[in-house]
Structure 1
Amino acid sequence: MRSFVRAGYNLRKKTGKWELKVRPDKDSMLGRGLLSEKEYHDPVRVFRKAFKEYRPEQFLEFLAEAVHFSLGPFNHAPEGNLIGPYLHLVKMIDAAWLIVERASAEK
């Protein structure tokens, strides 16, 4: 996941390569995951938005806290916001899947 966050940070600079110009024939809500229609058509937008809100270090801190709290019982509440980075990571995974699908469809 750490490598995914770093790759996503570099990916946010890309423009237009995986953008969908035409509306797909079967546009199902399940195929989009958590992505909005604009994010579905331009999946790199998800990475730009995520890294505009959070620095890569904040995502890595979130991952470390998630691992820490998943290892067993804890006596104190987590520090910081865990929901925001989690939602952005899930959307980035959905967007990455779209990018992989579209890149393989081009070949």
Structure 2
Amino acid sequence: MKKNKISFETRFWAGFVARDPFEAFDAIFDFAHLDYYKQNLSEAVLHSFKRKVYHQDKPCNVFVFYTAIWSFLKVCYCLKEKGNKWKVKESSRCETVFHLSSLTKEEFDNPFLVLQNAFEKRTLQQFEFFLCEITELSLSPFAGDPDSDLTTPYIHLIKMLDAGELIRERGVEKIKKADQIDSVTQ
């Protein structure tokens, strides 16, 4: 049976179609820095509760941001299953607690845990609804109450952004069969 491939829809903002999730991660973080995504996400969520329109001078930027984050979520959804077959390479730097950002030490060591945890708590469709809702509310000149919880998906998305940057920064390697057998026996 042929496996359906998920489209990362990178052509809207990157200008090309990414074929695999790691290529899409590179495109996402080449398009903009981690701070750009975190800042825009935070500001969009804050503007969801205000009467002021987010990016009033260029609201099209919000749509571009939405499409990039939607692509990012699709990549994370695809990679959540790959945590059993791939591992993030060890960091050559000595990391301090400051470098962990929103991640715990365990999540910092294995960023795939963040993706698995996020999609255990929320579905891809729930994350898409969250993105649609903050986009709609942040571009609306009327103050309104969101129909759903914005905090939980927001926290998961911030953690996924940090995990995604770590995965990209460190790179990944395939888990060898002996390592898989050792992890199963433990």
**1:24 deviation in Å?**
6.0
Identity of counterpart residues, as a percentage? 34
Q: What code does the residue aligned with 2:127 have?
A: F
Match of 1:35 among 77, 96, 103: 103
Distance 2:143 2:136 in 1: 12
Deviation at 1:72, TM superposition (A): 3.2
Give 1:61-80 correspondences, 5 Å limit: 61-80=129-148
Matched, 1:11 2:79: yes
Taking structure 2 as the reference length, the TM-score comes to 0.51
TM-score (norm 1): 0.85
Deviates more, 1:74-83 or 1:45-54: 74-83
- C-alpha displacement of 1:75: 4.2
Query: Higher relative contact order by CA 8 Å / sep ≥ 6: 1 or 2?
Result: 1
Q: How many Å apart are 1:25 and its aligned residue?
A: 4.9
Aligned length: 102
**Where do 5+ consecutive residues of structure 2 fail to align?**
1-68, 173-186
Worse overlay, 28-37 or 44-53: 28-37
- Shift of residue 70 of structure 1? 1.2
Please, which runs of 5 or more residues in structure 1 have no aligned partner?
A: none
Aligned-partner SS, 1:17: strand
After TM superposition, what 4+ stretches of structure 1 lie above 4 angstroms from structure 2?
none
Contact 1:19/1:42 (<8 A) preserved = no
* Native 8 Å contact 2:137 2:144 kept in 1: no
1:85 maps to amino acid:
P
Q: How much does 1:26 deviate?
A: 2.2
